[in-house]
Amino acid sequence: MLTLAIQKKGRLNEQSLQLLRESGIHIANGMKHRLKSRSSNFPVEILYLRDDDIAECLANGAADIGIVGENEFLESGFDLRRIQKLGFGKCRLSIAFPKNKPFGSLKNLNGLSIATSYPNILENFLQENGLSASIHRISGSVEITPEIGLADAIFDIISSGSTLVSNGLKEVYTVLHSEAVLLAAKTLPAEKEEILNQLIFRLRSVLKAAVYKYILLNVPNEKIEIICKILPGMKSPTVIPLAEPGWSSLHSVIREDDFWQRIDRLKENGAQGILVLPIEKMII
């Protein structure tokens, strides 16, 4: 049995549970206030925690693996394995400065005080850049600190530009792009490592499927060769003759980003009736 810690409630809770569901792992929901639940079809037990506590629980053995924002992981400073980025909970941590004051370059932070809930990440950043600002640690309402004279600048998650603007701030430097990650304790017993590998395989199949699409299109037979080059697919496309002579149906997979770049070339080569469908799982 592997113990997985996820956020109890908040921005990462629902998407963590959804990723597990899409990976075919059933978890009873229902009882709202439960702190622990066990999957009925996969050897994993879920612990519901505050995101601040997840990295520590992995470091001290209370849980084996966890899903948490990279920002929380880096801030915690614990030595854990970062197994996989999960594609949700995306945000950025930036320095913001009063918008009515000129900022210039990072050097202007020297001698100033910066308020943040992420003092460790900020300290590393300042050190790496040879800057000497003082760090004012605060657990919430960071955006208000320059206005009330508690700090000169802030370092925080930028939710929307509008929160900054309404507090008279402007984003001046992005320090970190973060997203939810799967973490694991530094070492696990062999049987837990085996379950973790099965879980990673499932998660990657789901994550890969999310960026690819299944594409079907009708092509004139004389264009099959060139369209196969535009849509090479996993091994090669499937080509099936249509009832109408001279035409075939071609099936392939394509990254969604690539689709928009290649659509014009498909049309130029006579492709018709193009259908693009979601893929649920993808095992290569």
Summarize as ranges the residues that interact with ligand ATP (CB under 6 A).
Answer: 7, 10-12, 50-52, 69, 71-72, 89, 91, 157, 159, 178
Q: What Å distances lie between residue 269 and 51, 219, 220, 225, 250, CA to CA?
A: 51, 8, 8, 11, 13
Q: Give the span between the Cα atoms of 69 and 87, in whole angstroms.
A: 11
Q: Among residues 10 and 278, whose Cβ is nearest to ligand ATP?
A: 10
Q: Could you tell which of Mg ion, ligand ATP, none binds residue 110, using a CB distance below 5 to 8 A set by kind?
A: none
Give the nearest distance from C-beta 52 to ligand ATP in angstroms. Answer: 5
Q: Give the nearest residue (CB) to ligand ATP.
A: 69
Q: Report d(CA 73, CA 124) in Å as an integer.
A: 14
CA dihedral 8, 11, 13, 16 (to 10 degrees): -140
Residue 12's binding partner out of Mg ion, ligand ATP, none, with CB under 5 to 8 Å set by partner kind: ligand ATP
Q: What DSSP line would sit under 89-106, residue for residue?
A: S-EEEEEEEETTS---SG
Of 21 and 137, which has the nearer Cβ to Mg ion? 137
Count of positions (residues) in the chain: 284
Q: How far is the CB of 20 from Mg ion (least distance, A)?
A: 21
Shortest distance in whole angstroms from residue 50 CB to Mg ion? 5
Tell me which residues touch Mg ion (CB under 5 A): 51-52
Binding partner of residue 127 among ligand ATP, Mg ion, none, CB cut-off 5 to 8 Å per kind? none
Closer residue to ligand ATP in complex, CB, 29/110: 29
Helices 190-211, 13-22: crossing angle, 10 deg rounding: 90
Residue 117 or 252 having the CB closest to ligand ATP = 117
Torsional class of 149: left (φ above 0), alpha (ψ -120 to 50), beta (otherwise): left
Instruction: Kindly state the smallest distance separating residue 79's Cβ from ligand ATP, in Å.
Output: 20
